[in-house]
A and B are shown apart, each in its own frame.
Chain A
Amino acid sequence: MSLFDWFANRRKADPISQDRQEREIADGLWTKCEACGVMTYTKDLRANQMVCPECQHHHRVYSPDRIHQLIDDDTWQPLDVQVLPQDPLKFRDRKAYGDRLRETQTKTQLQDAVQTGVGELDGLPVALGVMDFRFMGGSMGSVVGEKLTRLIERGTRDRRPVIIVCASGGARMQEGMLSLMQMAKISGALDLHRSQRLLYIPVLTHPTTGGVTASFAMLGDIILAEPKATIAFAGRRVVEQTLREKLPDDFQTAEYLLNHGFVDAIVPRTQLKGTLAQLIRLHQPASPYPTELEALPQDVAAHLR
């Protein structure tokens, strides 16, 4: 029996009243799919990595679950958990940035919009960064920039492949130009990692936009995306304003980018770990035609933690 049939049977076997259903959605016992409307027992949905068994809709997944989905049990070592955001511009829009940070930290139990660490993926040592959209829309400020840069430097030092799961609305405006410059900083770290012929794979999840798209999301040796993820540089509404006609429905989806040559493969979440392991193994051992490696500049090597 396929997983699909199993879910279908399970639903048939357990008819429940409308009332009870609504109550149990509120309790979080059942989850209604926002794409097809079908109810799934939340436990089952989680077991299926939050992919609707009915329509394959990929519900949002946040950093702790992502890490759990990709990294082998008991091998995860988080890095730089003490790197905390500041409010260098004393920025205030409708709310002070400092307050916004504290509230978001309390609500999400995260320090900022990325978690980084090293661990094993199907037995393979990797350096993994996972962005978290709950933290101010996954926006990239100094902390995201610093933690990802250190992660990539760690990958370069330890000769590990780097994987970054992207989910971001772009640069964090509240940190002004400091946030824009993180795009360059991370790209510079990737240049060094690349100079050592090490593998970097970004995984683009919904949504990956703005400054993240215009930097590390698009710099993979291999670029993977989740089905139907929105991947864009400029927002759809902004693009619409420059255009008279209507935009195609699938504009700026993972599938659209695949068709236009900017994504290498769309991988359903349930197959992501396996695909990453396969790709990493295909790049090991190093090329049978070894070419001389560019020596890492000594000062840079010393700089890598």
Chain B
Amino acid sequence: MLNFGGLTVFFGRSLGQAVRLWCEFRGVIEPMPTPQRKPILLDFEKPLVELEARISQIRELAEENEVDVATQIRQLEARADQLRQEIFASLTPSQRLQVARHPRRPSTLDYIQAISDEWIELHGDRGSGKDDLAMVGGIARFEGRPVVMLGNQKGRDTKDNVARNFGMASPGGYRKAMRLMKHANQFGMPIFTFIDTPGAFPGFEAEEMGQGEAIAYNLREMFSLEVPILCTVIGEGGSGGALGIGVGDRLMMFEHSVYYVASPEACAAILWRDAGRAAQASEALKITACDLKELGILDVLLPEPIGGAHANPVKATEILKSALKANLDELSQLSGPDLRRLRYEKFRKIGVFTEPTENGALT
């Protein structure tokens, strides 16, 4: 990314290329950052860690003693792959929550940059007097056409997380998002939103500046837009903070993403009066992509690479990009008023209740 006085610009296909361009522009040659970081493993991945430790141990021993163990290693690696597949195929909701919150999980900006041919970030919300870095947005070129993209942005490390308030947007963030969506509507651009937040920020200033109003306004106005809106939960969909950019023609979700009305921790504290019951709450609340598909809330479930999106971000990006393209192509056939009508009908149907019909049957 290039930072020109508040305007962040990204050119070309890769971040690396942009960094090089920037270095040339500034006349500095700096060593390229190497993203060789130690993997962060979750507790349920422990059997895998042990297996992988054994593989590298054997490899070292073989090297020291100059023995050929290629076959054994291949077998062990196949076993590790299988184990990983098994573990990730049967995650509990609270384990999925851990994957959804994984610090290395690709973020909104990662995906935007990876799926776009060009991208320019736009910051202004025109009013709150402060740029909310927990919400990012701008205009990108996607498969040849301009698209407004925006979403919740979690930090990529501790320092970044502080600046981005752990992905919890304030009213200014929601107003920035709406301002960009109205821009899209004005210029006939589709909208992609990426959801990844523990929730809207529950802070003093956020309340003072009308957090409730900011989200409410987005909910209503998103129904009035006459361009295609595709919303994707890429990580954590935290309640109203997620819904505030989540009213669209398609709701897509990665397999290990979660979307909830209240965080399992908060729900446990309120309903069980015991925050320690979060795992139980995460079961009861039905927060996984599979559950939401069953409830008729989710439209498109995106499979994840084995080991989760963070284990293979390139593959995850491909999956996301082709789903966005397919759904955008479909929606692009519809007129603005039709999009608006169908969007209303889609939400209109959500809800479960009984009502006796005229012949006495329950619906």
Main SS class of interface, B = helix
Q: A175 to chain B: which residues have CB within 8 Å?
A: 261, 352
> Among B49-57, B154-162, B204-212, B324-332, which stretch is in contact with chain A?
B204-212
A15 to chain B, nearest CB (A): 45
A-contacting residues, B282-314, CB 8 Å: 284-287, 292, 295, 297
Q: Mark B330-363, 1 if CB is under 8 A from A, else 0.
A: 0000000100110111011011111110000000
Q: A234 to chain B: which residues have CB within 8 Å?
A: 200, 202-203, 206-207, 211
Q: How far is the CA of A89 from the CA of B204 in the complex (A)?
A: 34
Q: Give the residue name and chain of the A residue nearest to B348 (CB).
A: A185
Tell me the count of chain A residues lying within 8 A, CB to CB, of chain B. 67
B315 within 8 A of A: no
Are A184 and B219 also in contact (CB < 8 A) when A89-B284, A247-B204, A299-B341 are? yes
Contact of B219 among A92, A176, A183 (CB under 8 A): A183
B270 within 8 A of A: yes
> Among A62-70, A143-151, A265-273, which stretch is in contact with chain B?
A143-151
A177 within 8 A of B: yes
Q: A184 to chain B: which residues have CB within 8 Å?
A: 219, 223, 243, 246-247, 347, 350
Interface residues on B, range: 35 or more
B13 within 8 A of A: no
- Asked whether, in the complex, the Cβ of A214 is within 8 Å of the Cβ of B212, the reply is yes
Q: How far is the CA of A184 from the CA of B347 in the complex (A)?
A: 7
- Asked whether, in the complex, the Cβ of A191 is within 8 Å of the Cβ of B210, the reply is no
B227 within 8 A of A: no
Are A181 and B347 also in contact (CB < 8 A) when A176-B285, A239-B204 are? yes
Q: How far is the CA of A300 from the CA of B318 in the complex (A)?
A: 37
Main SS class of interface, A = helix
A286 within 8 A of B: no
Are A214 and B216 also in contact (CB < 8 A) when A187-B223, A233-B207, A238-B202 are? yes
Contact of A84 among B212, B217, B239, B355 (CB under 8 A): B355
Contact of B220 among A176, A191, A239, A260 (CB under 8 A): A191
Contact of A89 among B201, B244, B271, B285 (CB under 8 A): B285
- Asked whether, in the complex, the Cβ of A211 is within 8 Å of the Cβ of B240, the reply is yes
B8 to chain A, nearest CB (A): 28
A82 within 8 A of B: yes
Residues in chain A within 8 A of chain B (CB atoms): 80, 82-86, 88-89, 91-94, 142-143, 145-146, 149, 171, 173-185, 187-192, 194-195, 210-211, 213-219, 231-235, 238-239, 242-243, 247, 251-252, 260-262, 297, 299-300, 303
Could you name 19 residue pairs across A and B whose Cβ atoms are closer than 8 Å? A84-B355, A149-B348, A171-B261, A175-B352, A177-B261, A177-B295, A178-B351, A181-B351, A183-B240, A187-B223, A188-B348, A189-B344, A210-B240, A219-B217, A233-B207, A235-B202, A239-B203, A242-B202, A251-B204
The 3 closest A-B pairs by CB, nearest first: A234-B202, A213-B212, A142-B351
